[in-house]
Amino acid sequence: MTSEAQMVALMTKHGLPDWTHPELLAYIQRGQFVGSFLEAILSNDLCEAVNRCMAEEWSSIPMFAVFLYNHAPARCWGSPAAYQTWRAHHGLEGLSA
């Protein structure tokens, strides 16, 4: 399993905005609530992601797709149902309990 430090390094490598790192990591690890922008990203809702992010971060949206596809658990993203289920199961920690 990838450590938290390795995950943050991968987020940085893929160009995810720094402010999203702790929130996204907490979501993956514990199913913690994320803000509306990351919820749209994780729910695979491109239109809402663009609507909810700051204009200067539009270019980072494809980088989230690359990061999630290559490094995040497949069950934690991809649809609103996947997002809600991941939160309800408390992320990786809940799955391993």
Instruction: Please state, in angstroms and rounded to a whole number, the distance separating the CA atoms of residues 11 and 31.
Output: 18
Ranges of each domain in the chain = 4-96
pLDDT digit of tens for each residue in the chain (97 aa)? 578 899 999 999 999 999 999 999 999 999 999 999 999 999 999 999 999 988 888 889 999 999 999 999 999 999 999 999 999 999 999 988 6
| Contact criterion met (CB below 8 Å) for 37 and 52 | yes
C-alpha dihedral over 48, 10, 55, 36, to 10 degrees? 30
CA distance 11 to 88: 24
The Cα 34–Cα 74 span in angstroms is 17
> Kindly report the CA angle at 48 between 21 and 24, in degrees rounded to 5?
15
